[in-house]
Chain A
């Protein structure tokens, strides 16, 4: 006999079983687990019933947990047993099967995961043969069978599920009429225009519609099978199969019988406990959390995670609700909606609309108080996830309003052959150019491994796991492969799995509570792992150092290899060395020393970089110290999240067009700000005239000399995604250039999240905010600049001052036997 606690689960669906998976990951041995399921199947992916109906997938392919999974994890599974009674006093569950037999089980903890029931219209004839709901494998199989014998089908309900059912039946050769009471299709997800476009597109495929039609009665043939649908206006349509898809209701019958408080679902707390009985939990579509019963998979999985955490007696997870968005799973039709896409009539919302009926593209963005509150996209949904992010972050869009409609990916995105519509890409098209991942491989991994989230896809396939520029495409593939409703997110994103805290919360805690060491941070914020991980430790190290210069000590073991060895690791384990050349200028003496070093240490490759410097590639680690010493030039920080290059043109000293001495300006900036660590790498450029030969338009700070002074552009980026720097201010003197640049850098250093480039920082906080802090607030600007100078004063050159820079020189020597 074991003394394990007994956990019983009523229901064997996606939310419940995901909860068990999470629980077993946390604590495999705490519970004896018993599961009752009414259906004869193990847990399967209900979202993919539509592709099964459409013949695009098979039933076997949508099984998520085969029977072996239950036995491997010592879970007792009773399929085809329906729990009919729960005795809360004796803590016993009683189930019956089709033969009327009874089976009982005792529980210490009980999970109700009873899901939801389809709502059947209360019309005469609803009980006839050939009238179905669309909810489970049995319904789907009945529809597939009907399609082989009959010709005419009617689907009642023009919502998401109804249209998917209609599409599937049509693909199986039936003539399908969709009956809808609303004025347009999917009115809970689409506005009138998008609903109209959708209807037209489906009509072109042969689907028929009866809009604003009220069903009066389902009429039978002489054998008692449904034969037609009669409407209130007296007309009728032929119907040998009727599918009701008018909505679902949380299945609370058992809970009500148990006298648990139910109100549009079983009412649960933030730990998913029923408010009536703390031993009993409810999760999934049957649960009402803060008044909402979610029907989409991602929020339900969030709930499962929290519930597992609570069952495992960790007690730290809280579910605080989710934002959701919608996508239709009808192959070849792209639509996306999220938030308040209808807007309101009271004048509190504004709309930006793009409509191109010829191309079948329609986009509407709803804005309230300078925030994006809703989006409805038809035909081109690649920016759905970006809009969704803006919606969730709730940041002001005032400064990007004029380009909002054109999306995040309208300029400069590289690495996936310019594709923006995943659905139309062939299976052998490359989605992720960094890791060489093709669309087919992603789809296969999603199906075979049962992946549901972007993170899971990244882990398994590496797609979008490197530079991230194909994230939007991968999300689209996930949407139509794993099911349309994956895309909901927790309202807050944790730094990593070691904590529930976000970057901002960690930054704030370090600043407000003067946390000077990693251990202090781990302790104060109750980190789940004692030494963090490769994601959080470098971030925390940076936050400490940037918040408390001169007081918080660098921890070299919390830096990734490049910043620990002060060189850039290459694919064969050798390093590259890039010495600093102020403003891109060098001398014969420096070049001679570099040449001698290349010979002496047999450095295989010498390359001129894009940042006007010289890169020595293939240096052995044990040679690094001597190479630095022999070259005798300052560290270029080309390996670090720090100021890298300051690119300049020759400027007025030589150039006949030059208006300003850009080379000198660049050198002055570089000498003032080198050794400056930042959330991510930082690049400057200075051009001496508007011809802009130094390409200042794609730098974090770009300075362009004009006859009357200097123009300053900020938050550009020439990498993964070309981002053009925005005009920030025009100043007269080089001293002002220095002060404004320094102030912007310090603001970014103090507020940026680790690995956030200036463009992303500025996008997050808004350009107006940055202008307010630096242009409008003279005292604040000077204070920022002074703080940067204080932080940089006396900072060591890591190539020469090993002790001061805390370079562990043992790393350069191997131990010999």
Chain B
């Protein structure tokens, strides 16, 4: 059962920007908003060297890691070729301007330190 938890309004996230969501346990989750007001959620950790993706520059459906410029797809959480590696994705629901994440996922996904690509 999906247990949607409203975390903020879409407008609480800057356009082409991100917010961090603190969890009871585990690395924070980054929620992104792009120019078309689509919202995405990824573990706030680059698969390369754990850079906080929430601090990256957003364009199209991509975020650029602030540490070493890896390009990570917002839809699948995976690095653009030729780099390799994925970060954890979280389901997002947007209804009436409310952004909701799945509590089950928040409580279970990537709770232990995620492994690195290389």
Contact = CB atoms under 8 A, between A and B. Distances in A.
B59 A529 contact: yes
A586 interface: no
Nearest to A462: B68
Nearest to A532: B59
A324 interface: no
B85 interface: no
Given A571-B67, A808-B14, A815-B22, A460 B59 contact: no
Contact of B64 (A531, A534, A816): A534
Contact of A569 (B22, B67, B69): B67
Interface stretch (B4-12, B87-95, B108-116): B4-12
Given A449-B82, A808-B17, A569 B66 contact: yes
Interface in B63-84: 64, 66-67, 69, 71, 82
B28 A817 contact: no
Given A569-B67, A817-B5, A537 B21 contact: no
Contacts, number: 86
B10 to A, nearest CB: 13
A708 interface: no
Interface in A471-495: none
Contacts of B17: 557, 808, 811
Given A569-B66, A573-B50, A810-B14, A816 B22 contact: yes
A208 B8 CA distance: 80
Given A815-B21, A817-B7, A817-B21, A534 B55 contact: no
B82 A537 contact: no
A557 B14 contact: yes
A557 B8 contact: no
B59 A817 contact: no
A394 interface: no
Interface string B100-113: 00000010000000
Given A459-B82, A537-B59, A808-B17, A817 B67 contact: no
A531 B59 contact: yes
Interface string B2-37: 000101100010111101111110001001001100
Interface in A518-549: 529-534, 537-538
A573 B52 CA distance: 6
A558 interface: yes
A808 B12 CA distance: 11
A167 interface: no
A138 interface: no
Nearest to B46: A573
Contacts of B35: 530-531
Given A565-B55, A569-B67, A810-B14, A529 B24 contact: no
Contacts of A571: 49, 67
A529 B60 CA distance: 8
A573 B24 contact: no
B56 interface: yes
A449 B57 CA distance: 29
Nearest to B33: A557
Contacts of B21: 814-817
A258 interface: no
Contacts of A533: 59-60, 62, 64
A655 to B, nearest CB: 43
A591 interface: no
A573 B14 contact: no
Contacts of B42: none
A572 B55 CA distance: 12
Given A561-B66, A573-B50, A814 B22 contact: yes
B55 A814 contact: no
A67 interface: no
A765 interface: no
Given A530-B35, A571-B67, A573-B50, A815 B20 contact: yes
B43 to A, nearest CB: 13
Contacts of B51: 573
Nearest to A815: B21
A560 interface: yes
B58 interface: yes
A569 B34 contact: no
B22 A557 contact: no
Given A815-B22, A817-B106, A560 B66 contact: yes
Given A534-B69, A571-B67, A815 B7 contact: yes
A557 B67 contact: no
A817 B55 contact: no
A531 B60 CA distance: 6
Most buried by B among A538, A559, A569, A808: A569
Nearest to A562: B66
Nearest to B17: A557
Interface string A422-465: 00000000000000000000000000010000000001100000
Contact of B58 (A449, A557, A569, A810): A557
A571 B50 CA distance: 9
A232 B82 CA distance: 57
Interface string A557-589: 111110011000101110000000000000000
Contacts of A538: 57
A531 B16 contact: yes
A529 B57 CA distance: 15
Interface in A65-79: none
Interface string A777-808: 00000000000000000000000000000001
Given A533-B59, A537-B59, A558-B57, A814 B28 contact: yes
Contacts of B52: 569, 573
Nearest to A460: B82
A126 B60 CA distance: 61
Contacts of A808: 14, 17
Given A534-B64, A573-B50, A810 B22 contact: no
Most buried by B among A534, A808, A810: A534
Given A449-B82, A569-B67, A817 B23 contact: yes
A569 B57 contact: no
A534 B5 CA distance: 32
Contacts of B8: 815
A558 B19 CA distance: 16
A810 B15 CA distance: 12
B40 to A, nearest CB: 14
Nearest to B19: A815
A617 to B, nearest CB: 15
Nearest to A538: B57
Contacts of A556: 14
Given A560-B57, A569-B66, 17 more contacts: A459-B82, A531-B16, A531-B59, A533-B62, A534-B57, A534-B59, A534-B71, A557-B17, A558-B16, A561-B57, A808-B14, A811-B17, A814-B22, A814-B28, A815-B12, A815-B22, A817-B7
19 contacts: A529-B60, A533-B62, A534-B71, A557-B57, A558-B57, A560-B57, A561-B57, A561-B66, A564-B55, A569-B55, A569-B67, A811-B17, A814-B19, A814-B20, A814-B28, A815-B22, A817-B7, A817-B22, A817-B106
User: Can you list the 7 inter-chain pairs with the closest CB atoms, starting with the nearest?
Assistant: A561-B66, A534-B64, A557-B16, A814-B20, A561-B55, A573-B52, A531-B59
Interface of B: 5, 7-8, 12, 14-17, 19-24, 28, 31, 34-35, 49-52, 55-60, 62, 64, 66-67, 69, 71, 82, 106
